[in-house]
Amino acid sequence: MTIRRLTRTWVPTAVGTLAGLVALAGYLFPTTALAVYRDHLVEWAVIVAAFALILGVFNVIRVHGTRIARAGDGWWHSLALIITASLAWIPPLLFGPSHGVTRAALDYVMRPLGGSLAALLVFTLTLGAARMLRHRRSFTSILFLIVVAFALIGTTPLLGVEWLADIRGWLVQVPGLAGFRGLFLGVALGTVITGLRVLMAVDQPQAGGR
């Protein structure tokens, strides 16, 4: 066993496994001691996450700065990203989140852009629904269109068709929720298995991503 292997593999794995087990034990057995260790570990995790965010920001700057320096494909896109990111970060850093400049940037830049993206999403979904029968003529396509129509109408309580809200409620609460929970159950099971593998040191993301 070399020092290199010890420091890069065994120590991170042991620390990760121990921290995970302590945090899990703190939730499963909410004793005071375990809760204290758990809370400390969560605070360290928040700090590490904050540094990870900072590292992520610098990584984005490095990647796009390299592309600009090399004049690679889409280098102007990288330049625009760095400029807009700087404009979004600099006012809060300089004046705080409640300053007029920060709010102006939020009200006149970020919110319209966010609203435009949401509207574009609506437009794209609408266009796709209109072209549904053009590309695929099937019973499921027609059923899809009918369900979407009822859900949309039921979402907005139109006058005279309030009863559609009940149909929309049933569609959303029963078949829609069933499918959604099915997806979530799958995600939850995957999360549990991944957590157990990390706790059992089968996966060692903290030791180099293996």
Partner 1 sequence: MIHCPSCGTSNRKGSRFCNECGEPLPSTGVRCPMCNTINAVGNVYCQACNARLVPMSAPPEGEPEEAASRPIKGVSLPTIPLDSGDREREKALEEPPQEESPHEDAPSAPSWLAELRESAEDIPEETEETEDTELTSSEPFTTADIPDWLSEMGPIGEPIERTDVPPPEPGDLPDWIRELGPVREQDSVLSEEGHSPEGAAPEKLVDEDFGATEPATREAAMDEAPDWLRDILGPDTEAGREQGSEDVGGPRGTSEDESLIEIPEWLKEGGEGSPPQPPETQPEAEPPTEGASTDEESTGEEPPAETPLGAIAIPSWLEEAQTDAGKPPYEEPPPPFTETPPEDVDTPDWLKELMASTAVEQEEEDVPPFEEEELEVPEPGIETAIERADIPSWLQELRPERTGGKPTAAGPLETEGLLRGLRGVIPSADAMRAPGVFEGVRTHEPDEASLARAELFQSLLGEPALRARKRSVGETTRTPSLVDRILVACILVAAVVGMLLAPLVVGQGPHLTQPLANAGATRLYDLIQGLDNQDSVLVAFDYGPPAAAELNAAARPVMRHLLERGVALSIVSTRPGGSMVADDLMADIGAQYSLIGYRPGAAMAASQLLGTTDEPPSMLVVLSGQPLPLLLWVEQAKASYGDRLPVAAVGSAALEPLASPYLDAAAGQLTGAVFGYAGGSSYEAIQGATGEATRRLDALAAGHLAIILTMIGGAFVYALSGRGEETQ
Please identify which residue in 35, 68, 82, 198 interacts with partner 1, judged by CB under 8 A.
35
- Which listed range, 58-66, 78-86, 177-185, 194-202, lies at the site for partner 1 (CB under 8 A)? 177-185
Please identify which residue in 29, 74, 162, 182 interacts with partner 1, judged by CB under 8 A.
162
- Which listed range, 3-11, 71-79, 132-140, 197-205, lies at the site for partner 1 (CB under 8 A)? 132-140
Q: Smallest distance from the beta carbon of 189 to partner 1, in angstroms?
A: 15
Distances in whole angstroms, Cα of residue 207 to Cα of each of 68, 83, 177? 33, 35, 39
Contact 23, 42 (CB under 8 A): yes
Residue number with CB closer to partner 1 (21 or 49): 49
Contact between 158 and partner 1 per CB under 8 A: yes
What's the number of CA atoms in the CB half-sphere (13 Å) around residue 21?
A: 10
Spatial neighbors of 27 by CB under 8 A, at least 6 apart, are 38
State how far the Cα of 104 lies from the Cα of 61, in Å rounded to an integer: 25
**Region for 150 from its dihedrals, namely left if φ exceeds 0, alpha if ψ lies in -120 to 50, beta otherwise:** alpha
Please identify which residue in 34, 68, 106, 167 interacts with partner 1, judged by CB under 8 A.
106
- Which listed range, 7-15, 75-83, 111-119, 202-210, lies at the site for partner 1 (CB under 8 A)? 111-119
Q: Which amino acid is at 173?
A: Q
SS3 per-residue string spanning 59-106: HHHHHHHHHHHHCCCCHHHHHHHHHHHHHHHHHHHHHCCCCHHHHHHH
Residues binding partner 1 (CB under 8 A) = 27, 35, 38-39, 42-43, 45-46, 49-50, 52-53, 92, 97-98, 102-103, 106-107, 110-111, 113-115, 117-119, 122-123, 125-127, 129-138, 142, 145, 148-149, 152-153, 155-159, 162, 165, 172-173, 176-177, 180-181
